[in-house]
Amino acid sequence: MHIRSLLVRSFFAASLLVSQSLLAQTPAAEVPQTLEQAAAQRERVVHMREAAEKRLLEEQDACYRKFLVNSCLEDAKKRYTKSMIEARNLDIPAREFQREAKRSDVEAKEAKRAAELPQRQAEQKEEGEIYRAEEAAKAVERQKNIAAKAQQAAEGRQKLAAEQAKRQVEQEKRAKRDAELAAKKAARAAEESQKAAAEQARRQSEQEKHDKKVAERAAKKAARAAEQAETAAAPAKQ
């Protein structure tokens, strides 16, 4: 067990030395010039690391079937370390480029906002003034509408009152005309009644005169008849 621990520590020590040696030998990493290149480069790093991990597992499995296991594992570790260093060397400049681009973008946006601040403030002030002016105009228009509606209502009431007064006058005129007509009709009826009564009185008077004359004639006739009868009777008495 102690021997195995020594072998493992020796393996990792050797791997560290190999990593330092490979790092010193690794060529300069690619420096992207655009965000698209940086993204593509970091994507390539992901694939490189995945491939290195897969290859390391496959090689380690193969090493355990060989006689010189430690030597095989050391070689596999060297290749893995080299691949990871290459991936890291690709990732670092791409990541730094993205970070710097993001920082520059933030600074540019902040600078743009700062530069546009006076204009935005002026626009906001102008918009506020326009809004207040529009609201004031709307308020004036509302007052005008209210006044116009009030005037229309007053005119409507006046018109209604005038129409009612006109109808009242017309009704009074009609009532007066009807009363005058009724009075005239009553006067005519009274006059006709008076005329009829006078005519009846006249006729009655004439009838009475006629009856009186008839009676007088009858009396005279009776008197003459009596006188004649008396005259006729006188000789007979002698």
Domain range summary for the chain, segments of one domain joined by +: 13-118
pLDDT at position 28: 59
Nearest CA among 79, 93, 74 for reference residue 11: 74
78 close to 98: Cβ distance less than 8 angstroms: no
pLDDT at position 27: 53
Give the residue ranges of the chain where pLDDT is below 70.
1-29, 236-238
pLDDT at position 109: 86
Question: Which single residue is written with the structure tokens 């007509």?
Answer: 181
pLDDT at position 29: 63
Q: Determine what percent of the chain is predicted with pLDDT higher than 90.
A: 48
Q: Which amino acid is at 152?
A: Q
What digits encode the pLDDT tens for the residues 152-201? Answer: 999 999 998 999 999 999 999 999 999 998 899 988 888 888 888 888 98
The first and second tokens of residue 193, run together, are 């009644």
What digits encode the pLDDT tens for the residues 8-19? Answer: 344 444 444 444
Rounded CA separation 195/198 (Å): 5
Phi, psi of 28 (to 5 degrees): -60, 135
Global pTM exceeds 0.85: no
What residues contact residue 35 under an 8 Å CB cut-off, 6+ apart? 97, 98, 101
pLDDT at position 236: 63
Question: Which single residue is written with the structure tokens 């006058």?
Answer: 169
| Range 21-24, long-range pairs (CB < 8 A, 24+ positions) | 22/78, 22/81, 22/82, 22/85, 23/85
